[in-house]
Structure 1
Amino acid sequence: MDWNRVEGNWKQLKGKVKEQWGKLTDDDLDVIAGKRDQLEGKIQERYGIAKDQVRSDVDAWYGRQQWH
């Protein structure tokens, strides 16, 4: 999985991330800046989900994105 796509397109993907994880704030998204570990940490913090579940959820979200 090439997470660099997410980092490189973060400005465009922030909306899709917020659709999936609406409890993340704009400030959270600015801090995350496309970094996967930051994204997973904020999701854990906001939703109280276990680390393994968050990783699985992020993998599933990434797999649903339409990469051109």
Structure 2
Amino acid sequence: MNWDIVEGKWEQLKGSVKEKWGDLTDDDLTQMAGNRDKMAGKLQERYGWTKQDAEKNVDDFFRDR
């Protein structure tokens, strides 16, 4: 999915993101606002992943949306 579309539909997608990554808080989701880099950064922080792993997880998740 194109990241412009993700940002535009963020309010609709937040529930799916929270379901997938339950350690993210509502504040995290609000701060991300559909931004890929912010999302990958929060996943790194919450799950201890490398930058590459976080980016891959984000890309894989949104590719199927």
Q: TM range, normalised to the smaller chain? A: over 0.9
Report the TM-score when normalising by structure 1: 0.90
Unaligned 5+ residue runs, structure 1? none
Offset from partner CA, 1:8-64 (integer Å, 9 cap, x none): 000000001111111000010011111111100000000000110111111110111
What secondary structure is seen at the aligned counterpart in 2 of 1:34?
A: coil
**Separation in 1, partners of 2:33, 2:55:** 17
The one of the two structures with greater contact order (alpha-carbon pairs below 8 A, sep at least 6) is 2
> Could you list the runs of 4 or more consecutive aligned residues of structure 1 that deviate by over 3 angstroms after TM superposition?
none
**Separation in 1, partners of 2:54, 2:4:** 19
Matching residue's letter, 1:11: E
Unaligned 5+ residue runs, structure 2? none
- Within-5 A mapping of 1:32-47: 32-47=32-47
Report the TM-score when normalising by structure 2: 0.94
1:63 matched to which residue of 2? 63
State the shift of 1:4 in Å. Answer: 0.6
CA RMSD of aligned residues (A): 0.9
